[in-house]
Structure 1
Amino acid sequence: MSYQTVLSEQIRIDCVLFIMKVIGAFIVAFVPGSHPVSVKEPYQAVKIIADNNTDNRFTINSEGCTIPYVDLNEISIRNLINSAAISPSSCPSYKHSLLAENGTHITTVTEHFKLFKIVNESNLKCCYRSFYRASFGASKNTFTRIKFSKCRLFQSTTKVNDEFVKVNCYYNGKEIYKRLFLFTPKKPFTTARKEPFTSERSMYNIIIMGLGSMSRHNFYRTMYKTWNFMKQYEAVELKGYNTVAADSFQNLIAVLLGLNKLQLHNICSPGQPGTLDNCPFIWERFKDVGYYTAFAEDSGKFGVFNKENLDFKDNPTDYYIHPFVKQFETFMKNRQKPQKHNKYQDSVAVTSCIGDKHNFQVLLDYIDSLVTTLDQSKLFGLFWETTMSHDNLNYPLQMDDAYALIIKKLKLSGYLNNTILILMSDHGINSGGIQFTKQGQLEVRLPLLYILIPKLFRNEFKLAYQNLLMNQQRLTTPYDVHTTLIDLLGLSDLSDEEIRRRSTEPYSHNRGISLFLPIPGNRTCQMAEIDQEWCSCHKLVKFPISNALIKSASRYLTQRLNEKIKLYPQCMGLAVAKVIEVHEIIPVYERNVEWRDFQVRVSTAPGGGNFEAVLRHHKGWTLVDDIKRMDDTYKHSCTRDDYVNGYCYCG
């Protein structure tokens, strides 16, 4: 599908959405009891998302791991989440740029000559210089390793053959303009294999889009449109996806190498400390089977590998824009400085611009351009965003439209028909006021992970896909993502027959388990090699039913039960006759004690019904989702409402 077709389809969809909004406004205005859902109020809209669970009282609730449900608008963080929060600074406008590019050529914009006081075009000279990052040599500093080609002068237009280009323009010998450009030329395919790769079957592109420091919950709160498209396209959400470390580096190493930090240094750095070139990155394996590879981040200064003072001697992938981003960060010098903040205020995000666009938009444009360039070739690409989501809960609101649009374009163009798209994060936000709340302590351990599988794959590898769906409610880790990527290298291990065979093998204590195999329901953090400090699982600890706190809980539960039947006079009022058992749901990590959760099971009178609920105590009681009926004591129907019949006793 052409870009023009995609654009026409985009306009058609936008028109339909506009009409739906008008109709919705009419309904809200004239239909009693109707309630609007505003895109500008994402925190209200996503309440529906959080409730779409098999057991809404928990995020996951397996034999080996229980993770409690948390409200996206939990009271302790309401002052921190705000759709009208301060926005990042805008980027300088290139509306009146002296230069423009169309993907193949750079040209001067003659209609803007007056703005630059250019009277005689023959006195305008522009210098085109490509640049690249050299190997280490005498310097390990990325910036000083940048090497430029000789100047190629042009006056009105010049053809582009390079990835990274710097252009300086001079009028009457004086510099009046300078700009950097990023391109995606088709490169010759090279491989270290002695024999050319031949494939017996078609393979799937692998596109990984990363959002740094983005928890599942903050993704719901701030990127509703993106979430909506992922749901519409039937992406699989791994709700029990648990971080394995405090920083991006260690979590990404688990995804890309399947290693922890200690193993990384033992395997990668014995001969060349400070470099990662000897590491067995997963993209090398995809390269070996015929894929182009790409690794792109929207920040150089705050890149994944910068914190560990590590670097690559040579470019690690076929397409690698780190040298360009680093060059631009120094070239433009327009990074915002963090503002002072107290512990209950978020810091200003690490935002910056590349020219007239925010860094994340340049990253998304790069994806768009690269998949077009490599349309007939296979691509493994990791594209990691940091600048908007890393330090601020609310800034990701600014990215929502852009991420929703790129995913929609990939879908409408047909690219996703042959692509497995992974949208993920490393951990939740660990700065600003939220880190001092119990909610934040849970969110930091639960990053987002969505996997969008093409229909062709689902139909061919049905059992593998069914297991992926089942694993939505299981404890999973970045190590599992790595093992899953290995399965996607050749696909031979994903046939139904192979999945059945592999499922009988003893793999439950493996650190990494493919998400196409059944993750054991009894899997614990210890089995998955998640340190207790980062384990989001909670344990159920028996709590004395005679405690005064439970007496007040019983009164609250009685009140909520009777609220469900108050409109039905044939239903008799209920009271808690006996507290059967109580468990406090306690995290295994050291936590803030703002609230306490209790799983309470009671029997009621009259009728002897058994009910279970998760109650949260924080300056009073609240009900975590619904009250669950645990038996079928009430044999007859008292009302026409099956839901109410679960609570109604009519004698």
Structure 2
Amino acid sequence: MNRMLLVPFGTLFSLVALAAAAGQQPAMPKYFVNSPLCKMPYVDPFSADVMAIYKKIKLKDCHNDSELVTAEYDPKLKQYRVHTRLDLARKMAKENVTLECGYQKIYRDGNATIPDDAYRMSKVIPLTDNLVVPNDVEYITTRCFLNSSNSKNHKSNITQRDAMTFVQDHLTPEELVHSFRLLNDEQDPKPNVIILGIDSTSRINLRRTMPQVLRFLKNLPGWFEMQGYNKVGDNTLPNLLAILTGDNHVENIEAGKFKVRGFEDSLDYIWQHFKEAGYTTAYAEDCQSLSTFNFHKPGFIRQPVDYYLRPFVRAIEKTLKLERRFETIFCVGRHISSGYVWDFAVQFVQRLLEETPMFGVFWSNSFTHNVFSAGSAMDHLFREYLLLLLKLGLFKRSIVLLVSDHGYRFGNIRTRTKSGYLDERLPMMWLYVPPWFRKKYPHYVANLRKNRNRLSSNYDVHMTLQHILQLNTRSHEAFDARIKAKKCPNCRSLFFELPENRSCSEAGITEKWCTCHPTTTVTNRTQYMAVARAVVQGMNQHLVAKKLTHLCENFQLNSVEVMDRKEILGERSTTAATEHVYVLNFQTVYKKPKFEATVRWNPRSSTLKMNVDELSRKDSYSATAKCVKDSLVKKYCICKKLPGKQHK
């Protein structure tokens, strides 16, 4: 007799639940969230299947020489000084040399057709020791020659190129007076807001790869981890947009609107609201080709914030030596790619902390985007940056978020572990509130504690940012409807108590990404093969509809790894009897790609509901999708081998 085998939480969920049920020690929590409408399973970061493929990575420097040009901030002058190090140059050359250095200023080219992809550089300007950096210089590259009387051309072969940023204070006297009033307004306080983002880092993988950072977060009072935080989109763009705009814009992404010049400028970003409230704003992200707003997109036509690192990152990746590690650009010149972002964040805080309310987003891709264990190489370094920000006084009056967009979407952790499904969907989300906030708003702090193990989403974080701009607003209903999250009008600030019994749909999370529902594994081969064949047929029909058949291979089913049926908590029995939600893991023939599809299947009528653009690709598509540029299509297009043509 055909039947379904009940496996608690199926192959989607961690073995922790099974271990706990069997009474194994030490006992671990069974759920991150446990309510009638949401049972989000706890995941053991150190389960045997993950640790079998995990290897701690040691950080290696990007250079083995001494810096010939250094910079420091002079608090008396309120300007930067640059020093040239002749003493170190002579040690490097092992002879009595002279040092000749110069620099080039980097500008954003606002007149270019695609300004985010353009930059301008000045002519080389002599760089003398103890140079006071002019206020109009924000980004530079440097180069130094060692001149030796012993060499034929009087110039040795030793040359050093470098790059550095300077956060300059551009506030007018009137703006400084206004900012001072904002900083000292006890009735309507304006705390700084700093968002530190690390790409592809689940709360599970944070514990596995960054124990030093985790200790910092746990040991500094004021941090709250949202353990019920669930992503709302596939990759970085929709998840970050949901935080920054209150809308993940999935429909616009699928419609290709983000490829249209100027579309990204038309959106309503939270940093615009902070700017209107008197804040100084910043955005920085490393890896210019992977950048959230530029990956296969034109990016911003107008500079979106006051301090924008994009032209600097673009320039240095084009002019300095690059080294790839962890399957992405890791070293840019003499420094780690993400180091430029964190240095920029430190300068932003150091320069403006006492001058103006600040809102900044600082996002790192280079360590963690492609290799799930690479965060271990970042652990000590990122903790040092957090300690430096602590020393600078950031945590005295600032609200700080440490966030990610999602966990690992492809690779070994998705193809070889049971917890990979959950890891992808559960990004880290930590929120820090300073001592004065905890004293002034104890009811908000009490709500943060309650919300730690309640279902939350990116839209709640968006509403939290909106709430920071009007902290005296005492209820969600009191917010103007125009600033509520468009995709989830009932989502609320984390300073308000979240519903204890909340469904994914109520938090703006679609079934594809929802981790609230228990699953059972389908063992009836006839049943799972019928669904699998219908899915593959739907994929082929999608290729035809998208006019991709000349580029992409037709799909043929190779095998079904597993199919799980979701038990939709709170769903009406009449719906459950006619239509089921399945998560199908399968492989097709050509190039053996591995897919995961969340579908609705009616066993009575054998009809399928599926969004092919929502397919998950569990293995890397970098080698199989070079013929297309659309990030959605890349997931499922297996490029044909065209005669006489090589895909770049």
What range describes the TM-score normalised by the shorter chain of this pair? 0.5 to 0.7
Partner of 1:106: 82
Partner of 2:352: 374
Instruction: Specify whether residues 373 and 476 from structure 1 end up closer, same or farther in structure 2 by C-alpha distance, changes over 3 A only.
Output: same
SS in 2 for 1:236: strand
Instruction: Specify whether residues 177 and 165 from structure 1 end up closer, same or farther in structure 2 by C-alpha distance, changes over 3 A only.
Output: same
Asked whether the equivalents of residues 349 and 392 of structure 2 are also in contact (C-alpha less than 8 Å), the reply is: no
Residues in 2 aligned to 1:301 and 1:190: alpha-carbon distance in whole angstroms: 38
Q: Which amino acid aligns with 2:518?
A: K
1:427 is aligned to 2:406: yes
Asked whether the equivalents of residues 62 and 473 of structure 1 are also in contact (C-alpha less than 8 Å), the reply is: no
Residues in 2 aligned to 1:397 and 1:452: alpha-carbon distance in whole angstroms: 23
What is the Cα deviation at residue 57 of structure 1?
1.4
Residues in 2 aligned to 1:303 and 1:272: alpha-carbon distance in whole angstroms: 17
Deviation string 1:116-135 (CA, Å, 9 cap, x unpaired) is: 588674xx643332111111
What is the Cα deviation at residue 204 of structure 1?
0.6
Mapping 1:140-289, distance limit 5 Å:
140=114, 142-143=116-117, 145-161=118-134, 162-169=137-144, 171=147, 176-188=159-171, 199=182, 200=185, 201-234=188-221, 235-262=223-250, 273-289=261-277
Residues in 2 aligned to 1:262 and 1:393: alpha-carbon distance in whole angstroms: 26
Asked whether the equivalents of residues 424 and 449 of structure 1 are also in contact (C-alpha less than 8 Å), the reply is: yes
What is the Cα deviation at residue 69 of structure 1?
2.0
Asked whether the equivalents of residues 324 and 331 of structure 2 are also in contact (C-alpha less than 8 Å), the reply is: no
What is the Cα deviation at residue 434 of structure 1?
0.8
Residues in 2 aligned to 1:146 and 1:275: alpha-carbon distance in whole angstroms: 21
Instruction: Specify whether residues 66 and 102 from structure 1 end up closer, same or farther in structure 2 by C-alpha distance, changes over 3 A only.
Output: same
Instruction: Specify whether residues 542 and 314 from structure 1 end up closer, same or farther in structure 2 by C-alpha distance, changes over 3 A only.
Output: closer
What is the Cα deviation at residue 473 of structure 1?
1.4
Instruction: Specify whether residues 415 and 112 from structure 1 end up closer, same or farther in structure 2 by C-alpha distance, changes over 3 A only.
Output: closer
Q: Which amino acid aligns with 2:30?
A: R
SS in 2 for 1:61: strand
SS in 2 for 1:514: coil
Count of residues in Structure 1 that have an aligned counterpart in Structure 2: 478
Asked whether the equivalents of residues 238 and 449 of structure 1 are also in contact (C-alpha less than 8 Å), the reply is: yes
Counterpart pick for 1:135 among 110, 113, 117: 110
Instruction: Specify whether residues 254 and 173 from structure 1 end up closer, same or farther in structure 2 by C-alpha distance, changes over 3 A only.
Output: farther
Deviation string 1:454-474 (CA, Å, 9 cap, x unpaired) is: 122122222222222111111
1:590 is aligned to 2:588: no
Partner of 1:8: none
- Stretch of structure 1 that moved more, 202-211 or 66-75: 66-75
Asked whether the equivalents of residues 441 and 591 of structure 1 are also in contact (C-alpha less than 8 Å), the reply is: no
Partner of 1:399: 378
Asked whether the equivalents of residues 271 and 359 of structure 2 are also in contact (C-alpha less than 8 Å), the reply is: yes
Counterpart pick for 1:518 among 494, 497, 511: 497
1:92 is aligned to 2:67: no
What fraction of aligned residue pairs are identical, expressed as a percent? 28
Q: Which amino acid aligns with 1:181?
A: M
Q: Which amino acid aligns with 1:93?
A: N
What is the Cα deviation at residue 270 of structure 1?
10
SS in 1 for 2:319: helix
Residues in 2 aligned to 1:500 and 1:313: alpha-carbon distance in whole angstroms: 36
Residues in 1 aligned to 2:373 and 2:263: alpha-carbon distance in whole angstroms: 35
Counterpart pick for 1:528 among 497, 507, 510: 507
Q: Which amino acid aligns with 2:319?
A: F
Residues in 2 aligned to 1:271 and 1:226: alpha-carbon distance in whole angstroms: 37
What is the Cα deviation at residue 223 of structure 1?
0.9
Q: Which amino acid aligns with 2:192?
A: N
Name structure 2 gaps, 5 residues minimum. 1-18, 74-79, 148-152, 523-564, 569-580, 587-648
Asked whether the equivalents of residues 264 and 279 of structure 1 are also in contact (C-alpha less than 8 Å), the reply is: no
SS in 2 for 1:59: strand
What is the Cα deviation at residue 152 of structure 1?
2.7
Counterpart pick for 1:294 among 270, 282, 304: 282
1:357 is aligned to 2:335: yes
What is the Cα deviation at residue 319 of structure 1?
1.1
Q: Which amino acid aligns with 1:70?
A: V
- Stretch of structure 1 that moved more, 53-62 or 379-388: 53-62
What is the Cα deviation at residue 264 of structure 1?
5.5
What is the Cα deviation at residue 236 of structure 1?
0.8
Asked whether the equivalents of residues 295 and 320 of structure 1 are also in contact (C-alpha less than 8 Å), the reply is: yes
Residues in 2 aligned to 1:539 and 1:107: alpha-carbon distance in whole angstroms: 61
Deviation string 1:503-535 (CA, Å, 9 cap, x unpaired) is: xxx999735321122222232112223221111
Q: Which amino acid aligns with 1:127?
A: G
Residues in 2 aligned to 1:462 and 1:169: alpha-carbon distance in whole angstroms: 55
SS in 2 for 1:538: coil
Instruction: Specify whether residues 189 and 351 from structure 1 end up closer, same or farther in structure 2 by C-alpha distance, changes over 3 A only.
Output: farther
Q: Which amino acid aligns with 2:274?
A: F
Partner of 2:312: 324
Residues in 2 aligned to 1:516 and 1:403: alpha-carbon distance in whole angstroms: 27
What is the Cα deviation at residue 227 of structure 1?
1.1
- The structure with more radius of gyration: 1
Asked whether the equivalents of residues 129 and 167 of structure 1 are also in contact (C-alpha less than 8 Å), the reply is: yes
SS in 2 for 1:231: helix
Counterpart pick for 1:453 among 423, 428, 433: 433
Residues in 2 aligned to 1:311 and 1:205: alpha-carbon distance in whole angstroms: 26
Instruction: Specify whether residues 241 and 99 from structure 1 end up closer, same or farther in structure 2 by C-alpha distance, changes over 3 A only.
Output: same
Partner of 2:468: 488
Instruction: Specify whether residues 314 and 141 from structure 1 end up closer, same or farther in structure 2 by C-alpha distance, changes over 3 A only.
Output: closer
Residues in 2 aligned to 1:64 and 1:390: alpha-carbon distance in whole angstroms: 32
Q: Which amino acid aligns with 2:86?
A: T
Residues in 2 aligned to 1:541 and 1:179: alpha-carbon distance in whole angstroms: 56
Report the TM-score when normalising by structure 1.
0.66
Asked whether the equivalents of residues 80 and 393 of structure 1 are also in contact (C-alpha less than 8 Å), the reply is: no
Deviation string 1:608-634 (CA, Å, 9 cap, x unpaired) is: xxxxxxxxxxxxxxxxxxxxxxxxxxx
Instruction: Specify whether residues 272 and 68 from structure 1 end up closer, same or farther in structure 2 by C-alpha distance, changes over 3 A only.
Output: closer
SS in 2 for 1:493: coil
What is the Cα deviation at residue 74 of structure 1?
2.1
Instruction: Specify whether residues 267 and 233 from structure 1 end up closer, same or farther in structure 2 by C-alpha distance, changes over 3 A only.
Output: farther
Residues in 1 aligned to 2:174 and 2:405: alpha-carbon distance in whole angstroms: 30
Instruction: Specify whether residues 129 and 273 from structure 1 end up closer, same or farther in structure 2 by C-alpha distance, changes over 3 A only.
Output: closer
Residues in 2 aligned to 1:352 and 1:59: alpha-carbon distance in whole angstroms: 34
Asked whether the equivalents of residues 184 and 373 of structure 1 are also in contact (C-alpha less than 8 Å), the reply is: yes
Deviation string 1:46-81 (CA, Å, 9 cap, x unpaired) is: x9xxx9x99911121122211112222223222222
Instruction: Specify whether residues 519 and 55 from structure 1 end up closer, same or farther in structure 2 by C-alpha distance, changes over 3 A only.
Output: farther
Counterpart pick for 2:451 among 471, 475, 487: 471
SS in 2 for 1:366: helix
What is the Cα deviation at residue 105 of structure 1?
2.4
Q: Which amino acid aligns with 1:468?
A: L
Q: Which amino acid aligns with 2:276?
A: D
Q: Which amino acid aligns with 1:534?
A: W
Report the TM-score when normalising by structure 2.
0.66
What is the Cα deviation at residue 389 of structure 1?
1.1
Instruction: Specify whether residues 155 and 274 from structure 1 end up closer, same or farther in structure 2 by C-alpha distance, changes over 3 A only.
Output: same
Q: CA RMSD in A?
A: 3.7
SS in 2 for 1:464: helix
Residues in 2 aligned to 1:54 and 1:449: alpha-carbon distance in whole angstroms: 24
